[in-house]
Amino acid sequence: MLFATSAVVSALSYGAREVIPVCDEWEARRVAEGKETYLLAGENQGKFIDGFLSPFPNDWKEKLREKTIVLSTTNGTVAVRKASQASTVYIGALLNSCFIAKYLTTNHRHQEIVILCSGSGGRFSLEDFYGAGCLIHYLLRFDETWQSSDAARSALLLYQHHPDPLALLSLSRVGKGMIRHGYGREVAFAAQQNLFPLIPRLDQGVIRPLAFG
């Protein structure tokens, strides 16, 4: 959630045509080679990549209209790629959690929902777990008969006991690192709930927004 899925949700909300998640900067360069409407963005191990836009769409939203964003991040885009064998993959963040939950309840109520937290360098990430708890909170608000695992209940309890998203994200290891390096504004942006009524779906390796009313 800090920051790949928040980047996807906000980029599409700002007018990007689509986002292509890739595993590393070399794949990103291959995908975008010779394509004028493609923009490269991302980070590697928390550092910006030469020739790429930052992973923060707020820095470059005026460039987004009708563009394809090729996004490479250390954890989030890799997790999306690994999940691509699932029947359907949606991209969620605090920024759109209520809308994702409503869509899942309406369209996938009788299917098993797996919430994938990308983590950080193979380790547990507090902010991702909190984001999962937020989504579960809204799923249960729309339909209290959803059944949940102990992991899901734990995420929900974390969310319920920490009503200030910014405070929680600022306590996480990744959040602290971002603030220390001067990106506190981006942490605060990602902590906003239900800002964008958007349902991003992965389709054949490309993330596009679904029409949603």
Query: What are the extents of the domains in the chain?
Result: 4-205
Dihedral sign from CA coordinates of 190, 191, 196, 199: positive
Model-level pTM?
A: 0.97
pLDDT of residue 146: 98
Do residues 178 and 1 touch, judged by C-beta distance below 8 A?
A: no
SS3 category, 82: helix
pLDDT number for residue 212 = 67
pLDDT, residue 211, reads 77
User: Which residues face 210 on adjacent strands?
Assistant: 199
Question: Which pair of tokens denotes residue 74?
Answer: 């250390």
Segments of the chain scoring below 70 in pLDDT:
212-213
Give me the amino acid identity at 42.
G
211 CB-contact burial (10 Å; exposed 0-12 / middle 13-18 / buried 19+): exposed
Q: Which CATH architecture has domain 4-205?
A: Alpha-Beta Complex (3.90)
Query: What are φ and ψ of residue 206, in 5° steps?
Result: -125, 135
